[in-house]
Amino acid sequence: MNAERLTVRSLEALQNAERLAQQLNHAEISPVHLLSALVNPTRALNSQGGESDDSLAVPLLQKAGASVPQIRSLLEADLSRLPKVSGSSASMSRAFQQVLQDAEALAGKMKDQYISVEHLILALADVASDAKEILSVSGGRKEALQEALKQLRGGATVTSQNPEDTFQSLERYGKDLRRAGEAGQAGSRHRP
């Protein structure tokens, strides 16, 4: 995978996954480390040393109907069960490599110029691993995630290395004018 094709947030997530595996003395970086880096900002720190909690991962999972607290809890349990080693750096597991390959393929299929957080989440929900099971059990199935992504993105594609801010700006700062209009009309109907 070409690191230049990664968005800022997805590169941070990969670095945080590696850092997490090393902090926990795990022999391999697995999809569980990546999922934890994406959804659990208290476990993974961004490259500037602060918490990275503004990724698209959590809103995407919530919109898909997944229970983020349950995902976090299951991740903690899974991470604590992984075998520990000392004195060596963590290597990428086959499943982790497959997630990266699938994320890159998804970006191409979606006509995106960069591999972003949502590609990583969709790949995690598809590649056979503990992370896929955690997502599935918690309501984060691939089909639901794809539908939620369509709603969050609209028709936009990833054309910059910082698209997550763009996709969430309407959610964060915008108003649903149709709903506001309906609420205003409904309120005016009931006035004397």
Compare 84 and 154 and report the one with higher pLDDT.
84
pLDDT in tens, 44-64: 444 444 444 456 899 999 999
The answer on pLDDT for 83 being more than 80 is yes
Max distance between CA atoms of the chain, in angstroms, equals 77
Q: Can you tell me the distance from the alpha carbon of 60 to that of 140, in angstroms, rounded to the nearest whole number? A: 9
Kindly list the structural domains of the chain, giving each domain's residue range(s) and its CATH number in brackets, ordered by start: 3-189 (1.10.1780.10)
Compare 168 and 117 and report the one with higher pLDDT.
117
Q: How sure is the predictor about 190, in pLDDT bands with cuts at 50, 70 and 90? A: very low
pLDDT for 140: 94
Q: Can you tell me the distance from the alpha carbon of 185 to that of 151, in angstroms, rounded to the nearest whole number? A: 25
pLDDT for 11: 93
Tell me the whole-structure pTM to 2 decimals: 0.80
Q: Can you tell me the distance from the alpha carbon of 135 to that of 126, in angstroms, rounded to the nearest whole number? A: 10
47 in Cβ contact with 12 (< 8 Å): yes
Return the closest-CA partner of residue 126 out of 105, 111, 150, 110: 105
pLDDT for 175: 45
Q: What separation in angstroms does the CA of 173 have from each of 19, 148, 161, 167, 168?
A: 33, 19, 21, 11, 8
pLDDT for 99: 97
Q: Can you tell me the distance from the alpha carbon of 28 to that of 84, in angstroms, rounded to the nearest whole number? A: 9
Q: Can you tell me the distance from the alpha carbon of 136 to that of 46, in angstroms, rounded to the nearest whole number? A: 26
Angle (nearest 5°) at CA 32 between 149 and 154:
5
Q: Token digits for 60?
A: 């995407």
Return the closest-CA partner of residue 31 out of 109, 115, 102, 111: 102
124 in Cβ contact with 99 (< 8 Å): yes
pLDDT in tens, 119-178: 999 999 999 999 999 999 999 999 999 999 988 887 778 876 776 555 554 444 444 444
Q: How sure is the predictor about 108, in pLDDT bands with cuts at 50, 70 and 90? A: very high
The answer on pLDDT for 1 being more than 90 is no
pLDDT for 44: 46
CB neighbours of residue 171 within 10 Å: 12
Helices first, then strands: H and E counts in the chain: 10, 2
Q: How sure is the predictor about 40, in pLDDT bands with cuts at 50, 70 and 90? A: confident
E runs forming strands in the chain: 28-29, 91-92
Per-residue pLDDT, averaged over 75-102, amounts to 92
pLDDT in tens, 4-32: 899 999 999 999 999 999 999 999 999 99
